[in-house]
Chains A and B, each alone.
Chain A
Amino acid sequence: MSDMIAEVDVLVIGGGTAGPMAAVKAKEKSPALKVMLLEKANVKRSGAISMGMDGLNNAVIPGHATPEQYVKEITVANDGIVNQKTVMAYAQESFNMINQLDRWGVKFEKDETGDYAVKKVHHIGTYVLPMPEGHHMKKVLYRQLKKARVEITNRYMATRLLLDRNGAIAGAMVLDTREGTFGVIRAKSVVLCTGAAGRLGLPSSGYLFGTYENPTNAGDGYALAYHAGAELSGIECYQINPLIKDYNGPSCAYVTGPFGGYTANAKGERFIECDYWSGQMMMEFYKELEGGNGPVFLKMDHLAEETISTIENILHTNERPSRGRFHEGRHLNYRHGMVEMHISEIGLCSGHSASGVWVDEHAATTVPGLYAAGDLACVPHNYMLGAFVYGQFAGESAADYALSHELPAVDVAQVEPERKRVLGPLSNAEGLPPNQVEYKLRRFVNDYLQPPKVTRKMEIGLDRFAEIGADLPYMSATNPHELMRAMEVHFIRDCAEMAARASLYRTESRWGLYHYRVEHPEKDDANWFCHVQLKKNDVGEMSCFKRPIDPYIVPLDEEEKDAYNRLRIVKQAATA
């Protein structure tokens, strides 16, 4: 059977949030370029924002915040380990992007004078811009895709990137998830926008798809970049979120906080100063959950009726609109009870923490012609607006690269083994079902990788992941859908191994709960004030190494450095 072959200038993989922006911006840069947006689902309803979003978590708006302040906040929130240049590039474009989205028809909350109504949620500055009517994000993006004449290819997944003989990008190999056929897309440049590694840990409900992240995002881009030889960074800085127990979605303190809701312990008392998600905050959350004052709740029952109905209207129509249904089933009404909270499974996501493909301030990875944006690109705490801004950078950079390069030849030596790997499960009538392999793999992720991180456990985890690696060729798929799941299991396994190796390499504790190593409980700036990079080395092994942190462009004073280490509320001693 011959493969489907397409030829484009710029190939954008993943059409959720960053991807559509990248594709539109590549086209705007140079309308003559052939730009394809390849999406595993359907761009009309794909990605983290499939049902919209209830706010911008990191808006840098003049009059409320400056780029310098924002860079400081994220440097401190991410415990010093940031390439400030990348965060600064985001912060400087943040306001332009908000205005552009506003022009495109995204509705942000504004005050009586028409100014953006920004709220304070972070520890130091003010960056949260609510979008109470943010459910139409995908429609707005779709309109722009059509207008820019981007070629949309839905229901295809990339399985590996293609390289030329010098190690520069040459395209991607793909699976048609509806037909179960294999294909090659030749491209001069590629933008990866495949989102987080959201199906890494197993949610405590045991339901494979009840994850925090949109479960279409299995860590595909992390594995694609890794196998193409790109550097990844901060993989040991996991994503762990405080979520509604069992429902496993955000509650969400960013929405309720500005209205007076807060995170409380079983006694209904506040125990953290600030609800902004960071590893340090999650550590306090974890201690409270496990300690005598647990479990932890989101408290709103003290708020006025009017306020509560406003909150309900936002939380139950937007982002994760089935929240209301869940509470109904549990007979919970915000007016009379608190929402029971829990800790999510682990994931990799630079949108929330810092794990990702290493990029510079132009969204370039270390592989020539390969760009990355969104949750999978290492720009700490980048969230949705960061996905848009880096989507723009990536689209423009990829267009420039395509304009100055020829289409590389296809290397058959890469295509043949990949076709075999991808289509293999269709001819294993008697093999392992992918969902069973995935369940076991992700249970091991919980058993061996979830913090507190224990050295011996992570080593055992690596043994188990290797054994599962040996099982992968024996998976069977009875249809194209199962074949897609089988390929995702490969990605999840790669991400599990990356998580273990990067965590073992950094022999200190940092980022609160995200990298709490029991045998190395202290932060060790003398040895570990650096990035931990992960890469496939020359002999094909997964290797870690240190990358020095570029000198800060926005220096911090000692007081500021410590801000996120003082999140726990200290009770004033009662006066006699």
Chain B
Amino acid sequence: MPMTMNRVSVPVTVNAEKCIADKGCTVCVESCPLDLLAIDMAKGTAYMKYDECWYCLPCEKDCPTEAIRVDIPYLLR
């Protein structure tokens, strides 16, 4: 079956300056009820891997360095 990739803008932005994933933090990854966040090992920061967000905010609230910002997903903003 032929496939393609569609680009989508995602609602979660991680501030690379503040994120301490390189020091082993995975708090947001564990908080997200939909399991949408992951750590980019090369960059040492968290990022949104899947666009399936409930804009519920545990990731943002639990981040120890206030590195996460959740926007309302574009389709409903």
Residues on A lying within 8 angstroms of B by beta carbon are 41-42, 44-47, 50-51, 155, 177-178, 203, 205-211, 214-216, 246-248, 320-322, 325-326, 329, 430-433, 481, 484-485
Contacts and interface: CB of A to CB of B under 8 A. Distances in A.
B54 A325 contact: no
Given A51-B57, A322-B55, A322-B57, A210 B35 contact: no
24 contacts: A41-B33, A41-B35, A42-B31, A44-B30, A45-B33, A51-B61, A155-B35, A178-B35, A203-B76, A205-B75, A207-B75, A208-B52, A209-B53, A209-B73, A210-B75, A215-B34, A215-B54, A216-B33, A322-B56, A322-B72, A325-B70, A326-B76, A433-B3, A485-B52
A119 B54 CA distance: 29
Interface in B48-77: 49-50, 52-58, 61-62, 70-73, 75-77
A50 B1 contact: no
A210 B54 CA distance: 6
A325 B77 CA distance: 9
B20 interface: no
Give the dominant DSSP class at A's interface: loop
Contacts of A177: 35
A463 B2 CA distance: 27
Contact of A481 (B30, B35, B71, B72): B35
Contacts of A211: 54
Interface of B: 1, 3, 30-35, 49-50, 52-58, 61-62, 70-73, 75-77
A252 to B, nearest CB: 15
Contacts of B33: 41-42, 45-47, 50, 214, 216
Contacts of B34: 41, 209, 215-216
Consensus secondary structure, chain B interface: loop
Among B71, B72, B73, B77: residue with most chain A CB under 10 A: B72
A485 B76 CA distance: 22
Nearest to A433: B3
Contacts of A178: 35
Contacts of B3: 430, 433
Ordered nearest first, which 7 A-B pairs have the shortest CB separation?
A41-B33, A205-B76, A45-B58, A207-B75, A246-B76, A322-B55, A209-B52
Contacts of B57: 51, 321-322
B54 A209 contact: yes
